[in-house]
Each structure stands twice: as structure tokens, then as C-alpha cells.
Amino acid sequence: MGRWDNIIGRVDVSEPASISAGIAARYATAVFELAKEARGLKALEGDVDALSAALDASADLRNVLSSPVISRDDQAGAMARIAAKMKLSAVLTNTLGLMATNRRLFVLPQLLTALRDMIAEEKGEVTAEVVSAAALTKAQADNLAKTLTSRVGKTVKLNATIDESLIGGLIVKVGSKMIDTSIRSKLASLQNAMKEVG
């Protein structure tokens, strides 16, 4: 445990929720560095994807992370069982146990996001958030990723979601840049222009 304390440091339990991202970043840095040192980044990437999917799919799991009435021991036991069932790497399994002991499991979603960003940066990748009115075909997704890769200069992975209210077109976010070609946005612009004329 001494090594974990040195890497992560100590955080006062009374700190406000607004620093959740900071807490998550500390754990993420420790997990990332230990996995990198052990040449286990590929396994860690799989763990992050699997755990993210489990969080998205299970309200019970999200409740275990955030409920103040579940004891540390029960949280740790639940996370140990989940980690064993999912066959998570030792680094992430140990981190989940430490987070349960320190009452820090509530930052797990932010931890997974931070780890995903660190892994992508290590691989020279960037994630583009893509929202479309209908699911993209494989050809459309491949073409979009290729176009974005040529513009960004890094390999682009797409995180695609659907929002039928867009009517058509896309919203693409890469880092701080956003391209909105949705019909909904064009209609809103047209509506605003008509208000100015009238």
C-alpha cells in the first residue's frame, strides 16, 4: 500500500464534490503509470471499455459506487467480485479495492474517462464525439474517421451516438472544436435570420 500512497497522495474526505475530477486524475495517473510500466496498457484499455459498458448498463452497479449507506467493506467486496467476473487486470482490480477503502468509488466514471484519454494520447489517438440523426454505416464512419485523421494529424476514433432530433446531418466534436452540420442547427439559424428581418 505504501507505493499507492506515494503515487496517489492523500485527499481529505471533507473536500467538495467539485474536485471529483482531480481525485479521479490522481488515481488514473497511478493506474496508467503502473500499467505502462508492466506493459499492460492494451489490457487496461480492454478493462476500461468493459467497465464503462458495465456502468452504462447497470443501475445497480452505479448505485454501489455512489450509495452512502453501503459500507466500505460491502463496496470493496462487490467490486472484487465484479473485477473477478470481468477478469480485470490486477492493477485496476487493486485500484478499485483501494478506492472502495478510501470511499472514492464515486469518481469511477471520471477515472475511466481520464484513463481513456491517457491511453489515446499514448497511442497518438484522439476521440471524436459524433452525434447523428441515424446510425452511421461502417463506410460512413470509416470515411469520417479518415477525413478527421487527415485534418487533425492523429488517428481519430469515433464515439458515435444518435439524436433523432437533429433531423439530418452531424455534430462532430474533436477536443474544443465543434462542427455542426445538422438540419436542426440550420433551421434554427434560418429562424433567427427571419426574426431579424421581420
Domains of the chain: 2-121 (1.10.520.20), 124-197 (3.40.30)
Please state, in angstroms and rounded to a whole number, the distance separating the CA atoms of residues 19 and 44: 24
Task: Output the pLDDT for position 41.
Answer: 94
Percent of the chain residues past pLDDT 70, beyond the cut = 90
Q: Could you list the beta-strand ranges (E) of the chain.
A: 125-132, 155-162, 170-174, 177-180
Predicted structure pTM score: 0.68
| Burial label, 165 (beta-carbon count in 10 A; 0-12, 13-18, 19+) | exposed
Nearest Cα neighbor of 85 from 74, 73, 97, 93 is 93
The DSSP symbol for 136 reads: P
Per-residue model confidence (pLDDT) at position 18: 52
d(CA 134, CA 3): 48
Q: What is the pLDDT of residue 68?
A: 87
The answer to whether residue 7 scores a pLDDT higher than 50 is: no
Measuring CA to CA, which residue among 161, 165, 190, 187 is closest to residue 173? 161
Residue 160 Cα distances to 28, 94, 102, 128, 156, angstroms: 24, 31, 34, 8, 12
pLDDT tens-digit map of 105-145: 999 999 999 999 899 889 989 889 999 999 999 999 999 99
CA distance 185 to 198: 20
Phi, psi of 166 (to 5 degrees): -70, -20
pLDDT tens per residue, range 34-78: 999 999 999 999 999 999 999 999 999 998 888 889 999 999 999
Would you say 111 and 102 are in contact if contact means Cβ atoms under 8 Å apart? no
